[in-house]
Structure 1
Amino acid sequence: MDSSNTAPAGQEHHPDCMRAQALAALAATAWPDKLARVRAIADDAMLDCQRVFAPMDGVPGRPPLPELVAPAQVRQRSMATQEGRAALLHALAHIEFNAVNLALDIMWRFAGMPEAFYRDWLRVAREEALHFDLLRRRLDALGYAYGDFPAHNGLWDMAERTCGDLLARLALVPRTLEARGLDASPMIRNKLAGAGDTESAAIVDIILRDEIGHVAIGNHWYKQQCVAAGKEPVACYAELAKRYDAPRLRGPFNLEARRAAGFDDAELAALQAG
C-alpha cells in the first residue's frame, strides 16, 4: 500500500514524523550515524500513527563489520584473557545493536497503534543505543572495536519472520529472545566480575535493569493485543512459538526479573514446564 494513500492530507512523507525518523535511523549504516539519529528523535515529535510506509530496501542498515556467521561459528573464549572478555563484550554489543534496530523497526512497520506504543519503543531504542555505546566504549578501553569479532544475527532473523504479524513480533522478540537476556545476565555479570573486570560487570548491571523495562513494554503490548484479538496469552504464545519456530527456552530462568518484567504466574509455570 502506498503511504500517501493513508497519511493525513499535507503530511505525506513528512520528514519530522517520529516514525519516519525511526525508519531513517534504521536505514543508517554507520553506527555513529544511527546512534545520533536515535538521539535526535524528540519526545514531542509529530506522530502519524496511521501512516503505512512503503517497503524499503537496505534495512536494517549496518556497517560492513562485524562479519555475520552462523551461531555455531561464534566460538567461546576464556574469561581469563583480555581477548576473551572483549569477545564476550563484543557479542553483547552486537545484541544491543540489533536491539536498537528492532525497536526502530517496530515503530515504522506497524501502523494503527496508540501513540503510547510508538513512544514506548522510542524509549527502548534510546536505551539500547546507550547500552551499545557503553559496551563500545568499554571495548575501546580494552583495545578492541565493534566489528573486530564475528557475530551472528539470530535476533534479526526472528524480526524478519514476524515482519507481517505484530502479535508474533511482540511474543517472540521482546518476550522470548530479549527475555533470554534476563536469564543470562547474572551469569555473564558473575563471569566478568570473577575475572576481575568490575567495569564490564557494572555495564551488565545497567543493561539488566533497563532490559526488565523493555521486556515489560513487550509484555504490556502483547497482552493488549491478545485482549483485542480475544486470545488467551499463554495458549496464544504456544501457538505462535510453534508457527514461527521459536527457540525452545531452557532454564535456569531469572524468575525475579521475569516477574518484574510482567510475566504472571501462569506464564512462568508454562515456561518452567517446557
Structure 2
Amino acid sequence: MTSLASAIRAALLTADPRAKCFAARKLARDWRLGRLEWQFDVTMPDQPARPERPELLPPGQMPKRGKGGSERGRIALWHALAHIEFVAIDLALDIVGRFGAEMGREFADDFLAVAADEAMHFALLARKLESLGSHYGALPAHAGLWEAAYETRHDVAARLAVVPMVLEARGLDVTPATIERVRAQGDVGGGKILARILDDEIRHVGYGAKHFVAWAEARGESPQKAWKKLVERHFRGQLKPPFNDSARLAAGLSRDYYAGIAS
C-alpha cells in the first residue's frame, strides 16, 4: 500500500496544473477510502513543482491589473485568484505531509479535504479564465505566496498561525467586496464562484484555528497570546483592517486574536 507521505510528495512534485488538481483530489479520495497507509516515510520538498508559466515575479514587480471593469482588468483579477488557489493546493498538501505524523489523523482528514477543495476552486477559476479567452499562465503571478510555508517549514504552530489564520483569513476580508464588484459588472456566474469559495474558505480557516487552539491548549498556553507571538515572529506583513468580523468569528477567529496587533 502506498504511504500517505509518498502520495503527497508525488502530488507536490506534479507541475502541470490540471494534473496537480487531479492528483490532489484523487489523494484526498484515496485517503478517505483507506487506500493509503498512515506512514510518513519520505520528506517533503522545500519547493513544490511549478509549471513553466505563469512567470513568477516579486510583489514589487507585478504589473498593475488595470481598471477592474476593463477586459484586461477582469482577466487579471481572475488570473490572480486562480494563482492563489493553485498555490493553496500545495499549502494544504504540504502541511499534512510535513506535520501529519505529529498532529494526527483528524489533522490529515481536515487538510486533505482542504486540498481537494482548493483543486476544485482552481478548476472553476481556470474555466472562468478560458471563458474570457485567456488561460492560467497567460499573465505573471505573485512569487511570494509560498514564502510563508517555507519560512514555517519546521514549526506546525507557526504554519497554522500564519497560513490559515492570517493569509487565508485575509481572503475572508476582501472576497465580499470582490463579489459585489463582480456582480455590479453583471457577472452573475463569477459572483457564484466567489461566493462558493468564500463559504469553503471560512471552513478552511476554521480548521487552522481548531488545530492551533488544540496545539496551544495541549501545552497550557493561551491560544490568543501564542498566536500573537508567532505572528509577530514569522509574518512579515501587517494585519490591516477592515476585517470581516462575522466571517472570522464563524471560523473561530474572534477579535481578541487580531485586534491588538492590527495596524
Name the TM-score, length of structure 1 as normaliser. 0.89
Distance 1:71 1:265, change over 3 A: closer
Percent identical pairs in the alignment equals: 41
Is 1:164 the counterpart of 2:150? The answer is no
For residues 151-198 of structure 1, give each alpha carbon's deviation from its aligned partner in whole angstroms, at most 9, with x where no partner exists.
113321100000000000000000000110000001111121122222
Alignment of 1:56-95 (within 5 A): 56=45, 59-74=47-62, 75-95=64-84
Distance 1:114 1:54, change over 3 A: closer
In 1, distance between residues paired with 2:109 and 2:44? 22
In 1, distance between residues paired with 2:219 and 2:257? 18
Hey, which bits of structure 1, 4+ residues long, moved more than 4 A?
46-50
Distance 1:251 1:56, change over 3 A: closer
Report the Cα offset of residue 112 of structure 1: 2.3
SS of equivalent to 1:266: helix
Deviates more, 1:235-244 or 1:250-259: 235-244
For residues 54-94 of structure 1, give each alpha carbon's deviation from its aligned partner in whole angstroms, at most 9, with x where no partner exists.
3546x311101111112133212212212210110000000
For residues 194-228 of structure 1, give each alpha carbon's deviation from its aligned partner in whole angstroms, at most 9, with x where no partner exists.
22222212111111000000000000011111112
Partner of 1:187: 177
Report the Cα offset of residue 268 of structure 1: 5.0
* 2:235 equivalent among 234, 242, 245: 245
In 2, distance between residues paired with 1:204 and 1:213? 15
Deviates more, 1:81-90 or 1:159-168: 81-90
Distance 1:247 1:52, change over 3 A: farther
Partner of 1:8: none
Structure 1 alignment gaps of length 5 or more = 1-13
Distance 1:52 1:221, change over 3 A: farther
The answer to whether the 8 Å contact 2:3/2:40 transfers is no
* 2:13 equivalent among 27, 48, 55: 27
In 1, distance between residues paired with 2:7 and 2:197? 25
Alignment of 1:102-251 (within 5 A): 102-110=91-99, 111-251=101-241
Deviates more, 1:101-110 or 1:71-80: 71-80
Structure 2 alignment gaps of length 5 or more = none
In 1, distance between residues paired with 2:44 and 2:112? 20
Name the TM-score, length of structure 2 as normaliser. 0.92
In 2, distance between residues paired with 1:231 and 1:169? 17
SS of equivalent to 2:142: coil
Partner of 1:38: 24
SS of equivalent to 2:256: helix
For residues 87-112 of structure 1, give each alpha carbon's deviation from its aligned partner in whole angstroms, at most 9, with x where no partner exists.
10000000000100000101111122
Is 1:18 the counterpart of 2:17? The answer is no
Q: What root-mean-square deviation, in Å, do the aligned CA atoms of Structure 1 and Structure 2 show?
A: 1.7
